[in-house]
Amino acid sequence: MNQHHIQVKVSRDRFKNNISHIRNIVKPSQLCVVMKANAYGHGLESLAPTAIAAGTDYIGICTNPEATIIRNLGSDAAKNIKLLRLRMALPEELNESIESLNIEEQIGSIEAAKYLSEGGVKRGKQIPVHINIDTGMGRSGFFSNQIEELKLVCGLPGINIVGIMTHFASSDGKELDFTHKQIEDFYKARQALKDYVDNNVLTHTHNSAATVRVNNESNRLVRVGAACYGVRTSQDFQNPPELEPVMSVKTNIAQVRKVPSGKTIGYGSLFTTQRDSLIASLPVGFGEGYPRALFNKGIVLIKGHRCPVVGRVSLNITTVDITDVPEPVRWGDEAVLVGIQGHEKITFEELADKFKSVHTEINLMAGFMNQISYV
Ligand SMILES: *Cc1c(COP(=O)(O)O)cnc(C)c1O
C-alpha cells in the first residue's frame, strides 16, 4: 500500500549510528538495545537486524510475540542474540520462553524463581535469569533488603543468575539525588550477595537518561531505548549531538484558503481568525496518529517556517495558520509534522511537551497507524 498523503520515514543509518555512539560511550559495558513496543513504534522486524549488525549484545523486549519476530528473522545472529524481558513474565509466557524462545527472564519473587527453577531442572538445563531488585521504582522485584530471600533464589537449581538489575524512577528528572540513592541501595544488595553469585554477574541499572548523564563505571550492561531512536532522554539534559532522531513524519497541503478575519475554524469553533488569514488544510489528523491534544498547540513546518495548528485536530484533517509565511504556499507543498525543513526542526519531544505526554506516545501513534518506509 502506497500512502501518498503521509510519509513516516525511519532511517536505519541513524539508528545504527546512534547505537554505535552509545556503544562507544558505555564501553566496556555490554549494551541492551531496548526494542519493546514495536521498537518504540519504529518497527521491530525492520530494525532488529540493524541493531544486531550494529553490535548490540542484547535486545530488550516485553512480549513473546516480540521475541518470536526476532527469532524468526532468519539469520543465525537473530537466533542467538540474547533477549532480555523487561518486565515480569506471566506463567504461560515462561513456558514458551523456556521451551523455545530463550528469553532471559527477570526474577522478582520466590514464586517465579521456583517456577523457572523447576522448568530448568525438568528439562536438564540451566536457565539464565536476572534478579530484579526494587530500589525505588516500585513496580516489581525484590526489595533491596530481602537479602535472605535473594540468597535462597541464588541457591536454586536449574537457573543460572547471569544478571542483577534495578530500574531508575527519575533518572530523567532535574535532581539526581534519588537516582544516586537507588544506585547505593543496589550495590549494597549486590555486595551482600557476593558469595552467592558469580563474580562476573552482569550488574545493570542504567536506562537512556542515566547512560548519558550518570557515571556508568560499575555497570556491566546498560539498557538503552530512547537514546537509540535519537529522542531526548531528559528535559533537563541535552543529548550528545551525535544522537540523531531516527523517525520523521511529513505530509502535503490539501488546500490553501484565504479566510477573512472573524471566522471560526474546526469542530467546536475553538479558533477565531483575528485577521485576514491564510489557512492550510493538511490531510492528516488523529486517525493518522497526529495527536488530537495538539489543537491550538501544535506546530508544523511549511517552507521552513514554524506554523501554528489552529482549531481542533480532526480525525483526518488538521488546519494550520500560514499567514506569516513570506513565500507563496501552494496546494501540494510539503508540510513537516516531525523532522527538519530548512533551518527549522520539530521533534517528537517538543510536541509531547505541549500536552504533557512523552515522545514515545507520539512515535507509537505515528508508527503504528502508518506504513513506515525505511531509508
Ligand atoms: C523500557 C526500559 C528501559 C529503557 O528505557 P529508556 O529510557 O527508553 O532508555 C530500560 N530498562 C527497563 C527495565 C525498561 O523497562
Report which ligand 1 atom has the smallest distance to the Cα of 32. Answer: 10
Burial class (CB within 10 angstroms; exposed 0-12, middle 13-18, buried 19+) of 326: exposed
Q: Is the CB of 210 under 6 A from ligand 1?
A: no
Predicted local distance difference test score (pLDDT) of residue 239: 87
Judged against a pLDDT cut of 90, whether residue 341 lies above it is answered with: yes
Residue nearest atom 14 of ligand 1, based on CA coordinates: 86
Query: In the listed set 229, 260, 294, which residue is the last one of a domain according to the structure?
Result: 229
Which CATH number do you get for residue 268? 2.40.37.10
Which CATH number do you get for residue 173? 3.20.20.10
Residues 195-220: tens digit of each pLDDT: 999 999 999 999 999 999 988 888 89
Q: What is the pTM for the complete model shown?
A: 0.95
For the segment 252-259, the average pLDDT, to the nearest whole number, is 98
Is residue 280 one of the residues assigned to a domain?
A: yes
Quick one: CA dihedral 69, 72, 73, 76, positive or negative?
A: positive
Is residue 369 one of the residues assigned to a domain?
A: no
How far does residue 145's CA lie from ligand 1's centre (Å)? 23
| CA pair distance 17, 244, nearest whole angstrom | 8
How far does residue 34's CA lie from ligand 1's centre (Å)? 7
Judged against a pLDDT cut of 80, whether residue 2 lies above it is answered with: no
Is residue 171 one of the residues assigned to a domain?
A: yes
Is residue 85 one of the residues assigned to a domain?
A: yes
| CA pair distance 235, 12, nearest whole angstrom | 25
CA 187, 189, 192: angle at the middle one, nearest 5? 110
Count CB-CB contacts under 10 A for residue 29: 22
Q: In this structure, what C-alpha cell is assigned to residue 206?
A: 542504567
Report which ligand 1 atom has the smallest distance to the Cα of 209. Answer: 7
State the residue range of the domain holding 146.
Answer: 12-229
Residues 127-166: tens digit of each pLDDT: 999 999 999 999 999 999 999 999 999 999 999 999 999 9
Report which ligand 1 atom has the smallest distance to the Cα of 165. Answer: 13
CA within 13 Å, CB half, 165: 30
Q: Is the CB of 33 under 6 A from ligand 1?
A: no
**Same-domain pairing of 78 and 138:** yes
**Same-domain pairing of 40 and 177:** yes
Is residue 352 one of the residues assigned to a domain?
A: no
290 annotated active-site:
no
Predicted local distance difference test score (pLDDT) of residue 10: 96
SS3 at position 335: strand
For the segment 281-291, the average pLDDT, to the nearest whole number, is 95
Burial class (CB within 10 angstroms; exposed 0-12, middle 13-18, buried 19+) of 194: exposed
Residue nearest atom 6 of ligand 1, based on CA coordinates: 225
Q: What is the mean pLDDT of the chain?
A: 95
**Same-domain pairing of 223 and 293:** no
303 annotated active-site:
no
Check if the beta carbon of residue 48 is closer than 8 Å to that of residue 71: no
| Crossing angle of helices 147-154 and 177-192, rounded to 10° | 50
Of 9, 36, 188, 263, the active-site residue reads 36
The pair phi, psi for residue 243, each rounded to 5°, is: -85, 110
How large a percentage of the chain has pLDDT more than 90? 90
Three-class DSSP labels, 157-206: CCEEEEEEECCCCCCCCCCCHHHHHHHHHHHHHHHHCCCCCCCCCEEECC
Strands 372-374, 6-10: pairing kind: parallel
Judged against a pLDDT cut of 90, whether residue 333 lies above it is answered with: yes
Predicted local distance difference test score (pLDDT) of residue 38: 94
Judged against a pLDDT cut of 80, whether residue 43 lies above it is answered with: yes
How far does residue 36's CA lie from ligand 1's centre (Å)? 9
How far does residue 97's CA lie from ligand 1's centre (Å)? 20
Predicted local distance difference test score (pLDDT) of residue 205: 97
**Same-domain pairing of 19 and 161:** yes
Is residue 22 one of the residues assigned to a domain?
A: yes
Predicted local distance difference test score (pLDDT) of residue 366: 79
Judged against a pLDDT cut of 60, whether residue 1 lies above it is answered with: no
**Same-domain pairing of 222 and 251:** no
